């Protein structure tokens, strides 16, 4: 990785064109300003400077994008899967070619540290390769024989779909949603988060350059309450894949009700990392720190609640405090940086408000709890100790580099605490007792659980949450279940008795 000065210089060379033209929408293969001509500004959380204007799409732009996606759908659906596979692989190749540009722009737009974003760009390419390979099997069905009928099933793409993504690791998450939709044969209208539009534009350009037919992938920038809302309400959009806050998911469900929209939600979390006294404590410490403080703590799968067994809590927390105080906060383009600034002022205000909440509720701020500098949205990695599970800091998703530590006596109490939350996205369990691990994971209310590990994503496995953390699963064949309809066809063998009326 290059040094900070070189990275800034390279970033500026990539930003020149955005500064000149602003970020345009991409509809029907054409780069266009918003129909109204309106724009909004995106700014960097590093120094609050304006990066460039962004086309502010609204209902008219969503109409145009949905029309383009609808028109492009039959040909894309009917294109031989091998052709689709080639195009998706080409998209992956181009992402790899432009990985540095993507990573630098993502860091500047979102405040994420380069050490993580260079990998996230490449993971975006992997998402395309994985689903490119699966494209040829997307339609596969089953043969289900009965005495009178030969029944077959097949899958067909549901139609044009809307993809709505958040600002945390927006590039990776967009590829994660769009790649399976395209592999299934759906066309897409993507509405990225208003706070991180840069890499969504680069991604749409790459898709276009890779030879995706016009209208198959449309990009409309804008705010949730107008462009996002219009997309969820549009009659030609058959399904919405959404990643974001639980309360936004609930709104989208209501907005989509009139058009009976199919929805897939990846929502918030307040995920427990449970450390028993028989665990490998050094590894548990590394994983607990990584899962809450990497990506600025702005990750849905973060281990934001540490449940630690009383017998080891003093020693474990002491080591934790030392390590948290040592985390390097800094410019996201500095390769040494471990935590960058939070995405924007409103989020910064939200995260820092929990410092007061923690004190008010009687918890201890054992590390951090302050702003860093007076420019940009930097906060010191923070640890709350002496917390109880009923406290606001133990129940609400803070979505920043903030960990709440709670002590437990025994396995029963650990399980109760772990499950006492509205969320159920991930859980991390640290123990060397195999039977306990089996018992505990069996009863833990979460969509994804790792034992003696941090979150290690394996693309063929199901990704998603229970309770307020989501609806549906991504990954492997589960993605196709959302983007495709199951279709049953029964062929009569010709000898069963058909009921005769009026005979």
Strands 448-451 and 484-492: unpaired
Is the separation of the CB atoms in 93 and 124 below 8 Å?
no
Is the separation of the CB atoms in 402 and 351 below 8 Å?
yes
Residue among 169, 105, 50, 113 nearest 332 (CA): 113
The distance of closest approach from Cβ of residue 197 to ligand NAD in the complex, given in angstroms and rounded to an integer, is 10
Under rule CB under 6 A, residue 424 binds ligand NAD: no
Under rule CB under 6 A, residue 300 binds ligand NAD: yes
The binder of ligand NAD chosen from 194, 236, 334, 338 (CB under 6 A): 194
Residue among 468, 424, 473 nearest 446 (CA): 424
Rounded to 5 degrees, what are φ and ψ at 243? -125, 125
Q: Among residues 148 and 395, whose Cβ is nearest to ligand NAD?
A: 395
The distance of closest approach from Cβ of residue 300 to ligand NAD in the complex, given in angstroms and rounded to an integer, is 3
The binder of ligand NAD chosen from 425, 429, 449, 451 (CB under 6 A): 425
Under rule CB under 6 A, residue 193 binds ligand NAD: yes
Which are the contacts of 282, defined by CB distance < 8 A and separation ≥ 6?
none
Catalytic residue list contains 186: no
**Residue 142 token pair:** 């089953």
Stretch that binds ligand NAD, among 119-127, 251-259, 355-363, 401-409 (CB under 6 A): 251-259
Which helix or strand (DSSP H or E) is residue 53 part of?
A: strand 50-55
Under rule CB under 6 A, residue 268 binds ligand NAD: yes
Cα–Cα distance for residue pair 485/238, rounded to 1 Å: 11
Cα–Cα distance for residue pair 139/330, rounded to 1 Å: 48
As beta bridge partners, residue 384 has 365, 404
Stretch that binds ligand NAD, among 77-85, 205-213, 260-268, 410-418 (CB under 6 A): 260-268
Which are the contacts of 193, defined by CB distance < 8 A and separation ≥ 6?
165, 166, 167, 170, 244
3-state secondary structure of 70: helix
Pick the catalytic residue: 266, 298, 317, 481?
266
The binder of ligand NAD chosen from 57, 244, 401, 427 (CB under 6 A): 244
Cα–Cα distance for residue pair 444/272, rounded to 1 Å: 10
Which helix or strand (DSSP H or E) is residue 448 part of?
A: strand 448-451
Stretch that binds ligand NAD, among 16-24, 64-72, 224-232, 327-335 (CB under 6 A): 224-232
Catalytic residue list contains 107: no
The distance of closest approach from Cβ of residue 223 to ligand NAD in the complex, given in angstroms and rounded to an integer, is 6
Under rule CB under 6 A, residue 266 binds ligand NAD: yes
**Residue 247 token pair:** 């309360």
**Residue 284 token pair:** 């548990």
Is the separation of the CB atoms in 160 and 236 below 8 Å?
yes
Q: Per CB under 6 A, which of residues 438..467 are in contact with ligand NAD? A: 465
The binder of ligand NAD chosen from 215, 330, 470, 472 (CB under 6 A): 470
The binder of ligand NAD chosen from 76, 167, 171, 480 (CB under 6 A): 167
Pick the catalytic residue: 300, 397, 454, 481?
300
* Positive/negative CA dihedral, 6, 7, 9, 13: positive
The binder of ligand NAD chosen from 110, 112, 168, 431 (CB under 6 A): 168
Q: Among residues 309 and 479, whose Cβ is nearest to ligand NAD?
A: 479
Is the separation of the CB atoms in 385 and 363 below 8 Å?
yes
The distance of closest approach from Cβ of residue 467 to ligand NAD in the complex, given in angstroms and rounded to an integer, is 12
Site string for ligand NAD, 384-403 (x = CB under 6 A): -------------x-x----
Q: Among residues 185 and 197, whose Cβ is nearest to ligand NAD?
A: 197
Q: Phi-psi bin for 29: left (phi > 0), alpha (psi -120 to 50), beta?
A: left
Under rule CB under 6 A, residue 108 binds ligand NAD: no
Number of residues that bind ligand NAD (CB under 6 A): 33
Give the residue carrying structure tokens 């437990």: 408
Stretch that binds ligand NAD, among 25-33, 188-196, 210-218, 385-393 (CB under 6 A): 188-196
The distance of closest approach from Cβ of residue 247 to ligand NAD in the complex, given in angstroms and rounded to an integer, is 7
The distance of closest approach from Cβ of residue 479 to ligand NAD in the complex, given in angstroms and rounded to an integer, is 13
Which are the contacts of 163, defined by CB distance < 8 A and separation ≥ 6?
174, 177, 178, 181, 188, 189, 190, 191, 240, 241, 242
Cα–Cα distance for residue pair 452/458, rounded to 1 Å: 16
Which are the contacts of 500, defined by CB distance < 8 A and separation ≥ 6?
none
The distance of closest approach from Cβ of residue 116 to ligand NAD in the complex, given in angstroms and rounded to an integer, is 14
Q: Among residues 55 and 165, whose Cβ is nearest to ligand NAD?
A: 165
Under rule CB under 6 A, residue 229 binds ligand NAD: yes
**Residue 414 token pair:** 């650990």
Under rule CB under 6 A, residue 482 binds ligand NAD: no
The binder of ligand NAD chosen from 22, 57, 228, 330 (CB under 6 A): 228
The distance of closest approach from Cβ of residue 353 to ligand NAD in the complex, given in angstroms and rounded to an integer, is 15
Under rule CB under 6 A, residue 429 binds ligand NAD: no
Q: Among residues 124 and 166, whose Cβ is nearest to ligand NAD?
A: 166
Binding site for ligand NAD (CB under 6 A): 164-168, 173, 191, 193-194, 223-225, 228-229, 232, 243-245, 248, 251-252, 255, 266-269, 300, 397, 399, 425, 465, 469-470
Active site positions, annotated = 266, 300
């Amino acid at each position: 990785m290059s040094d900070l000065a070189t990275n800034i210089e390279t970033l500026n060379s990539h930003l020149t064109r955005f500064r000149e033209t602003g970020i345009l929408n991409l509809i029907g293969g054409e780069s266009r300003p918003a129909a109204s001509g309106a724009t909004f500004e995106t700014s960097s959380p590093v120094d609050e400077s304006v990066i460039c204007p962004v086309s502010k799409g609204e209902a008219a732009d969503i109409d145009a994008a949905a029309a383009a996606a609808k028109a492009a759908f039959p040909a894309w659906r009917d294109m031989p899967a091998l052709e689709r596979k080639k195009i998706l692989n080409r998209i992956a190749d181009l992402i790899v070619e432009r990985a540095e540009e993507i990573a630098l722009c993502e860091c500047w737009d979102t405040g994420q540290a380069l050490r993580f974003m260079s990998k996230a760009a490449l993971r975006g390419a992997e998402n395309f390769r994985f689903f490119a390979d699966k494209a040829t099997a997307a339609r596969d069905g089953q043969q289900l024989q009965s005495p009178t009928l030969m029944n077959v099933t097949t899958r067909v793409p549901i139609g044009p779909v809307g993809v709505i993504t958040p600002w945390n690791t927006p590039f990776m998450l967009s590829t994660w949603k769009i790649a399976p939709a395209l592999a299934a044969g759906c066309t897409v209208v993507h509405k990225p988060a208003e706070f991180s539009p840069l890499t969504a534009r680069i991604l749409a350009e790459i898709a276009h350059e890779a030879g995706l037919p016009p209208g198959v992938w449309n990009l409309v920038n804008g705010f949730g309450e107008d462009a996002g809302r219009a997309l969820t309400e549009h009659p030609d959009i058959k399904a919405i894949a959404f990643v974001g806050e639980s309360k936004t998911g609930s709104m989208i469900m209501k907005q989509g009700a009139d058009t009976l929209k199919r929805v897939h939600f990846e929502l918030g979390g307040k995920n427990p990392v449970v450390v028993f006294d028989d665990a490998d404590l050094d590894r548990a410490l590394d994983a607990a720190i990584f899962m809450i403080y990497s990506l600025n703590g702005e990750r849905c799968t973060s281990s934001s609640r540490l449940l630690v067994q009383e017998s080891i809590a003093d020693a474990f927390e002491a080591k934790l405090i030392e390590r948290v105080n040592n985390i390097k906060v800094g410019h996201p383009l500095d390769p040494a940086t471990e935590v960058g600034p939070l995405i924007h002022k409103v989020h910064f205000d939200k995260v820092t408000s929990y410092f007061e909440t923690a004190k008010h509720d009687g918890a201890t701020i054992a590390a951090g709890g302050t702003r860093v500098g007076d420019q940009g949205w930097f906060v010191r990695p923070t640890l709350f100790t002496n917390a109880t599970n009923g406290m606001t800091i133990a129940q609400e998703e803070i979505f920043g580099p903030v960990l709440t530590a709670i002590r437990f006596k025994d396995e029963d109490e650990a399980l109760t605490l772990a499950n006492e939350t509205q969320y159920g996205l991930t859980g991390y369990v640290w123990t060397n007792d195999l039977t306990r691990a089996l018992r505990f994971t069996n009863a833990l209310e979460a969509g994804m659980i790792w034992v003696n590990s941090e979150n290690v994503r394996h693309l063929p496995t199901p990704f998603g949450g229970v309770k307020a953390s989501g609806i549906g699963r991504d990954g492997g064949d589960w993605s196709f279940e959302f983007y495709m309809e199951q279709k049953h066809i029964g062929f009569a063998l010709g000898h069963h008795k058909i009921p005769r009326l009026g005979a």
